[in-house]
Amino acid sequence: MNVLGIETSCDETSVAIISDNELKTNLISSQDFHKDFGGVVPELSSRAHLQILMPLIKNALSKSNISLDKIDLITATAGPGLIGALLVGLTFAKSLAYSLKKPFIPVNHIEGHIFSGFLMTEKPEFPYLCLVVSGGHTLLLIVKSDTDIQKLGTTIDDAAGEAFDKVSKLIGLGYPGGPKIQSIAESYQSDLINFPIAQCKKEFDFSFSGLKTAVLRHIQKNYGSSEQIPAGDLPMIAASFQASVVKALVNNVRKAIERFHVSSISLVGGVAANKLLGNELELLAHKFNKKLVIPSNEFCGDNAAMIAYRGLKLFNSGLKYNLDYNAYPGLSDNTFIKPFLQ
């Protein structure tokens, strides 16, 4: 069984091929030019996907030594994401399925992330606690099986990755913020500024917009404006902000471990590449004797391997789709699995 996976939900064009349950190729082309604009420009993203997708598919087929007519299943991200970007990958996948007369499976991008730990050699064990932290989402979930996902909490304002990106922009480090803040924070070993951690009404929810405002107030009070921050103080601000985000995330994971029975913890999404977050969860997992699975960087960020993997699972569970299936930019956090059960 040869599966072709396509991911174009935001600023990564990615194509993967799974052959006989083994990942053969996972190619990712990142649209780095968005950094010049301080964030992802949707129209430019769609155009870049359009240009790169076909060559990337050809490249993935040749790297996997598989010809197009040997592909048995075509999967693509249907949402959530930027509508124009999603439509490029989804329309391409459906057209290919139509012309090759092969089945097509649309995949929820967040579900792709949730099960991305299964791309690793050490896999999560059900039931597992899953922390999804990306540029657009922050979710704490209990994953009981391939089709049973319980949502414990979500962000009531900014996503964790979005907070990294906004604060990075605020202190002049640019986009994408996560890696830049992490890298400058690494050199700082001294006292941290005590930025607040929000308490939400629902105990497993998250909130990061107050933290962003606290960083802004700190800058205004101490320096007047961001332009006047001495370069020597940037590591302290970055490290303090990063520590607060990590603390907010880890606190909720700890509460959930204490409350619910889980065998493993899985940290997924772009922010899962954050070393401090990984280290803190490692300590927590060790303390509670749980297995921790963090996908490698290749599978943390947006990638088609997780889409192909999830699409294959859904196909094997007997789901069938027609080619009318459309892109859903705002596929709600509450709709895991359901939209595909039709």
Residue list 169-208, contact with Mg ion (CB under 5 A): none
Q: Which residue has the tokens 């606290």?
A: 214
User: HSE of 18 in the Cβ direction (CA atoms, 13 Å)?
Assistant: 22
Pick one of Mg ion, ligand AMP, none as the site partner of residue 80 (Cβ within 5 to 8 A by kind).
none
> Which token pair is 310?
């999830």
Residues in contact with ligand AMP, shown as a per-residue x/- string from 136 to 175 under the rule CB under 6 A: x------------------------x--xx----------
* Strand, coil or helix: 38: coil
Name the strand (E) or helix (H) holding 263.
none
Q: Do 3 and 12 contact (CB within 8 A), yes or no? A: no
The reply on whether position 302 binds Mg ion by CB under 5 A is: yes
Smallest distance, ligand AMP to C-beta of residue 79, A: 14
Phi and psi angles of residue 107, each rounded to the nearest 5 degrees, phi first: -125, 135
Sign of CA dihedral 32, 33, 39, 43: negative
The reply on whether position 42 binds ligand AMP by CB under 6 A is: no
- Using the rule CB under 6 A, which residue among 60, 119, 139, 273 binds ligand AMP? 273
Residue list 277-316, contact with ligand AMP (CB under 6 A): 301-302
Stretch of residues binding Mg ion (CB under 5 A), selected from 48-56, 129-137, 152-160, 230-238: 129-137
The reply on whether position 134 binds Mg ion by CB under 5 A is: yes
Pick one of ligand AMP, Mg ion, none as the site partner of residue 161 (Cβ within 5 to 8 A by kind).
ligand AMP
Smallest distance, Mg ion to C-beta of residue 84, A: 16
Total residues contacting ligand AMP by CB under 6 A comes to: 18
Smallest distance, ligand AMP to C-beta of residue 122, A: 21
Sign of CA dihedral 328, 330, 335, 337: positive
Residue list 209-268, contact with Mg ion (CB under 5 A): none
- In sequence order, which residues have a C-beta less than 8 Å from that of residue 213 and are 6 or more positions away? none
The backbone region for 20, taken as left when phi is positive above 0, alpha when psi lies in -120 to 50, beta otherwise, is left
Smallest distance, ligand AMP to C-beta of residue 272, A: 8
Stretch of residues binding Mg ion (CB under 5 A), selected from 55-63, 127-135, 173-181, 306-314: 127-135
Phi and psi angles of residue 264, each rounded to the nearest 5 degrees, phi first: -135, 170
Residue list 95-134, contact with ligand AMP (CB under 6 A): 134
C-beta neighbour count of 150 within 10 angstroms: 12
The reply on whether position 185 binds ligand AMP by CB under 6 A is: no
Pick one of Mg ion, ligand AMP, none as the site partner of residue 182 (Cβ within 5 to 8 A by kind).
ligand AMP
- In sequence order, which residues have a C-beta less than 8 Å from that of residue 137 and are 6 or more positions away? 80, 110, 154, 155, 159, 269, 333
Separation of alpha carbons 212 and 64, rounded Å = 45
- Using the rule CB under 6 A, which residue among 127, 135, 153, 311 binds ligand AMP? 135
Where on the chain is the footprint of ligand AMP (CB under 6 A)? 134-136, 161, 164-165, 176-179, 182, 269-271, 273-274, 301-302
Provide the binding-site residues for Mg ion, judged by CB under 5 A.
Answer: 134, 302
